[in-house]
Structure 1
Amino acid sequence: MAYYHLGEMIHHQAEKYKGRTALKYLSSEGKWMQMSWEELSGKIMQTARAMAELQIEPEENVGIYSQNMAKYLITDFAAYANRAVMVPMYATASPSQVEYIVNDAKIRVLFVGEQFQYNNAYKVQQECPVLEKIIVLDRNVVLKPEDKSSIYFDDFIATGDNSESLALVNARLRHLHGGDLATIIYTSGTTGEPKGVMLTHDNYVQAFIIHDARLNQISDKDLSMCFLPLTHIFEKAWTYYCLHRGITVAVNRDPTKIQETLRQIRPTLMSNVPRFWEKVYDGIQQKIEKSSGILKWLFEDSVRAGRKHNLLYKNQGKRPPIGNTLKFFLYRQTIFFLIKRVVGIDKGNFFPVAGAPLSDKINEFMQSIDVHLIYGYGLSETTATVSCFPDTGFTIGTVGKVMPEVEVKIGPDNEILVKGRTVMKGYYNEPAETAAVFTEDGFFRTGDAGRLTDNNEIVLTDRIKDLYKTSNGKYIAPQMIETRMSEDRYIDQIAVIGDERKFVSALIVPNYELLKQYALEHQLPCETNEELVGNKAVHDYLFGRIELLQAQFTSYEKIKKITLLPQPFTLESGELTNTLKLRRKIILQHYADEIGKMYEE
């Protein structure tokens, strides 16, 4: 298979696929539109010429602050054609977060998505002289009356329609180099200011090479849903990989409408975080629990048959018994099909999952009902994937086998160390941080603790910085406990407490809707969330469920006390990162009183 610099990749694909569909996207009227490879190539070149006309130079940092759109991808590849560097920002980022990145990366030109991003960007522009130009992707955005410098994307791309800009872009295309910086992706900043991860075109191309070697069940007949933010390395690298493979990409613009979008598009592929599959699992479990008699038995029997067929035989490279094969075929055409049809994944090939720990129970259940999850592990600094499940021969309880041409070893404190051509160039403007994160022999320190199996699979234990040490000297892995507790459908969010404490406790955001149903059935007061979570009977019911979940924990790992919260952890409060990870330091500050009460004698 041929491999190309990102600046030329789409144009080579256009020569191969011509009028075939490259992208699907929603119009402003809510209708799904198609863009061919030839059309995509043409729009990228038109945008690249406009960038050249705006005097965007090679190696210049260009910002994009938007939700997923077709124009987002066009902007990315147009910048690469000019050898410029793309700096993505989360669509949910606050003005202060945008300002930090704009100043750090010296961003002169910023592409923005909708009204929210434009309003914030314009505010930043008033206080940040380095930001000169805002280009608005969505034509429906209302510009400020006093704003005389911003321009709509459609008007912007018309500015490059001249021979000089065309010649300049063509010249730059002839000087593309794999060592060119492609992106600077700022980390979520769970433990301080975000750092800009520098990834080159060689990093991305190497990611393509190792995925081609691992994912032999993929083809250009697939259809991938682009759902996670393109700011996130997982989605960015995956979407680029799909385009490299000639796969049609459907761009989901509004994350809150993903269930509707899935049923409309019915993709064969979609990268996602465990949270999505936790919600799917909870929904299916509710349906099973509400069933009765023969229907409930059929549900449970189908899962048993699917587990035997997919995990005990097929995954082990063995032929299932004829009886199990026939039963599995029957359930796949009926129960499994109906479950997947409701979600919109009935045409699924496989679904990459990463970004946070996935419960073994949920992973096994989804594999059993014939939803093939490819669970993996990676970081921004490693151009996403370090390890992932192969098509068969994977082991539940691991995050998959180390990728081809990637070297992993376990360092002091069980830290996972990684070396390979997908590892970043370094942190932008942070030479000391860059030096500190590499070992003397060139391995990247991931900050994650784990171990390697005899089959070169990675078993994650926890983030080293997140490990708690109780006042009794015992080490606690909070993510492991949180992942186990999240299997319960009554628990929506959980933050485990225990550092320098006598025992483990937890702040819990319950599933208010389900908990209110329980309260109503038992005639308990629940008019408000405060009334609901303050009820002792409700508290005791949920704690009883927790006791069952932690039956296999050691005594010092077990949660001894819980506090139910009347409101969830949110991005706006600073308690979650843009990738929905807990900001433990902020949570400890915000809920200091509630935590203190759990440790009163």
Structure 2
Amino acid sequence: MEIRRTFDLLTNLKHNIQKDDILCAKRNKEWVKFSVKEYSEQARLFSYGLLEKGFQKGDKIVTVTNNRPEWNFVDMGMAMIGVVHVPIYPTISDEEYKYILEHSDARMLIVSDTTLYNRLKEVTAQIDSIKEIYTFNDIEGAQNWSEITMLGEKHRINWKDKFKEIRNSISDEELVSIIYTSGTTGNPKGVMLSHKNFMSNMKDAYPLFPLSPKDNILSFLPLCHVYERMINYLYQYNGCSIYYAENLGTIAQNLAEIKASAFVTVPRVIERIYDKLVAKGNDLSGISKILFFWAMRLGERYRANGRNYPLYALKLKIARKLIFSKWQKAFGGNLRFVVSGGAALQPRLSRLFFAAGIPLMEGYGLTETAPVIAANFIAKPGNLKIGSVGPVFNSVEVKFDDDGEILAKGPNVMMGYYKDQKTTDEVIDSEGWFHTGDIGTLLNDKFLKITDRKKEMFKLSSGKYIAPQAIENLLKESDFIEQAIIVGESEKYAGCIIAPNFEFLHMWAHEQKVHFRDNKELIFTDEVMAIFRKEVHRFNKQLGAHEQIKKFRLVCDNWSAATGELSPTLKLRRRVIYRKYADVLRDMYDYHETEDNRGSISFD
């Protein structure tokens, strides 16, 4: 059947893919599985319940929850009667919650657990448009979402015909969701996405990533994020069984339990997996340790598309048998591919996973493009280039502005920003081209490569431009560096604030017999400063003269979305970091050569 609207996926499942485990979640240490029939019934009853409560086309409902089957029940239930779904991250600030809840004009809020319920009950008390709060978990004193489905069951006969009338009247051009961008600066913007935006993007992805009803998928990126949401629809189109991870800490365990075929992720998760692999390697001894790191170094030199020389291929065969086969086993033994998006992926990590027999492919897109513009894939030969984000999707057009900014046009481009025509007109020009804000180029007339964010590029006082993201990504190749931010706008030279990888640094300090009481003391030891000077100097050799880091400072904090330095999608929040480390920046650029040269690099 033709899939034009998100809820057509549900009809397609009912007619073509009857299975007992389309949506699965762990409850009390056991996987609870929902059939296609249960999914369809719960979604429909939710629609009836909303109609009975007086909801109409265009009304808004906000959800704040972890990934769970119920998210899909309410998502489809809203869509079938034209109610607009506004999903929000569970990790944002009260100030952001208040802004989004007010700005979206939401009538109802559904949250997952007690913590969110207690927190948002106070926030919504100040917002007139929010009439009711419901919960997914059973919470004493709170209304449970199942009360709406029970209401729908009770009044099913009354609303059956009206439901069909509304559902059949919905066009693929109509608004289905407002997704508020996490934003690294300013208030979040409400991206209005239609059924067509999502479904056109899903159809472009369909032939690129071979999946079937036989495949089990692990989902752990937030469903409120456009990337996981579109992929969630893609899984349903293919009839895959979707298992929602318990939390980020159980990913490896859950992958093994369900023998996952694939998953999508962001680079930060891959970096954490890599860190854990390195930690396990460091725990080995003797020949096992030597072989482990030999295989790692070999893997990082992998060349895609069969372009490895014969001796390398022989060595790789040995490495796969001795080392990498254990990785596949740890992931459940059935992992066929991984797709990374949301931020730049270090090419060496992609090479390493390919070498291990687990294709790790990078894609690119934005919330405003629902989301994918381009992606590497292996379904057909010649469509993979490590270090790029792959070929442009079939229905999407791309061109470059005079300054190298990527412009995109296609059925996936958003309807606009909610209640913000001025900003909409700033990013979508009169010819329909969406200005992404990313700088890029086309390699071999085929592969899109992102070089930096337009707004993040800055000039030194010499007039030379710095593209910070590429340098930051390079620095993060070091096992010692967790996060880094390049600074120096209007200054004479580029500097860097580094958040160390303390898990690795502690192991290194123990081996080197470096004594310390806490992280604050550790980062100021002579031995640690020396190793970081060495690391920065190593990367400086790969940079142009004006890009090289002349001074850096180490900080003793772990940067995260919870503490504010990273957005919910784990991108650097530059303004937050600048404010937090204002004293560090002043010290770096008010530096006198007669002072202690801690954190400075000499090029003599």
**TM-score category by the smaller chain?**
over 0.9
Which residue pairs with 2:165 in the alignment? Answer: 171
Secondary structure of 2:260's aligned partner: coil
Rounded to whole Å, the distance in 2 between the matches of 1:98 and 1:307 is 42
Seen in structure 2, the aligned counterparts of structure 1 residues 142 and 598 have a Cα distance that, compared at 3 Å, is farther
Which residue pairs with 2:197 in the alignment? Answer: 203
CA deviations 1:445-479 (Å, max 9, x no partner) are 00000111233211111000000211121111111
Moved more, 347-356 or 173-182: 173-182
Rounded to whole Å, the distance in 1 between the matches of 2:232 and 2:437 is 26
Rounded to whole Å, the distance in 1 between the matches of 2:252 and 2:537 is 33
CA deviations 1:113-153 (Å, max 9, x no partner) are 112221222112211111101110111x344xxxxxx5112
Rounded to whole Å, the distance in 2 between the matches of 1:218 and 1:347 is 13
CA deviations 1:558-591 (Å, max 9, x no partner) are 2222211121223344322111211111111111
Matched, 1:397 2:375: no
Which residue pairs with 2:72 in the alignment? Answer: 73
The correspondence of residues 539-558 of structure 1 with structure 2, limited to 5 A, is 539-558=529-548
Seen in structure 2, the aligned counterparts of structure 1 residues 330 and 244 have a Cα distance that, compared at 3 Å, is same
Moved more, 358-367 or 564-573: 564-573
Moved more, 500-509 or 476-485: 500-509
Seen in structure 2, the aligned counterparts of structure 1 residues 247 and 507 have a Cα distance that, compared at 3 Å, is same
Seen in structure 2, the aligned counterparts of structure 1 residues 331 and 218 have a Cα distance that, compared at 3 Å, is farther
Which residue pairs with 1:159 in the alignment? Answer: 151
Q: CA deviation at 1:325?
A: 7.1
Q: 1:82·1:172 contact (CA, 8 Å) conserved in 2?
A: yes
Letter in 2 for 1:548: R
From 176, 183, 206, the equivalent of 1:182 is 176
Seen in structure 2, the aligned counterparts of structure 1 residues 544 and 329 have a Cα distance that, compared at 3 Å, is closer
Q: 1:15·1:38 contact (CA, 8 Å) conserved in 2?
A: no
Secondary structure of 1:117's aligned partner: helix
Rounded to whole Å, the distance in 1 between the matches of 2:120 and 2:150 is 23
Unaligned 5+ segments in structure 2 are 593-604
Letter in 2 for 1:270: F
Seen in structure 2, the aligned counterparts of structure 1 residues 370 and 387 have a Cα distance that, compared at 3 Å, is same
Which residue pairs with 2:33 in the alignment? Answer: 34
Seen in structure 2, the aligned counterparts of structure 1 residues 206 and 118 have a Cα distance that, compared at 3 Å, is same
Matched, 1:347 2:330: no
Seen in structure 2, the aligned counterparts of structure 1 residues 437 and 166 have a Cα distance that, compared at 3 Å, is same
Rounded to whole Å, the distance in 1 between the matches of 2:9 and 2:409 is 26
Letter in 2 for 1:31: E
Letter in 2 for 1:233: V
Secondary structure of 2:429's aligned partner: coil
From 318, 330, 335, the equivalent of 2:323 is 335
CA deviations 1:191-224 (Å, max 9, x no partner) are 2111111110011111122112433x33232221
Q: CA deviation at 1:292?
A: 5.7
Letter in 1 for 2:179: I
Rounded to whole Å, the distance in 2 between the matches of 1:501 and 1:422 is 40
Q: 1:389·1:399 contact (CA, 8 Å) conserved in 2?
A: yes
Rounded to whole Å, the distance in 1 between the matches of 2:351 and 2:69 is 35
Identity between Structure 1 and Structure 2 (%): 29
Rounded to whole Å, the distance in 1 between the matches of 2:195 and 2:162 is 20
From 453, 466, 469, the equivalent of 2:456 is 466
Rounded to whole Å, the distance in 1 between the matches of 2:126 and 2:516 is 47
TM-score by length of 2: 0.92
Q: 1:48·1:81 contact (CA, 8 Å) conserved in 2?
A: yes
From 515, 526, 539, the equivalent of 1:525 is 515
Q: CA deviation at 1:67?
A: 1.3
Seen in structure 2, the aligned counterparts of structure 1 residues 572 and 275 have a Cα distance that, compared at 3 Å, is closer
The correspondence of residues 48-197 of structure 1 with structure 2, limited to 5 A, is 48-139=47-138, 141-143=139-141, 150-161=142-153, 162=155, 163-197=157-191
Secondary structure of 1:236's aligned partner: helix
Q: CA deviation at 1:520?
A: 3.0
From 558, 563, 578, the equivalent of 2:568 is 578
Rounded to whole Å, the distance in 2 between the matches of 1:326 and 1:42 is 54
Rounded to whole Å, the distance in 1 between the matches of 2:564 and 2:298 is 44
From 397, 408, 411, the equivalent of 1:418 is 408
Seen in structure 2, the aligned counterparts of structure 1 residues 359 and 307 have a Cα distance that, compared at 3 Å, is closer
Q: CA deviation at 1:297?
A: 5.6
Seen in structure 2, the aligned counterparts of structure 1 residues 385 and 293 have a Cα distance that, compared at 3 Å, is same
TM-score by length of 1: 0.92
Rounded to whole Å, the distance in 2 between the matches of 1:580 and 1:281 is 17
Which residue pairs with 1:146 in the alignment? Answer: none
Q: CA deviation at 1:545?
A: 1.7
Q: CA deviation at 1:328?
A: 5.5
Q: 1:388·1:403 contact (CA, 8 Å) conserved in 2?
A: yes
Rounded to whole Å, the distance in 2 between the matches of 1:324 and 1:440 is 52
Letter in 2 for 1:155: E
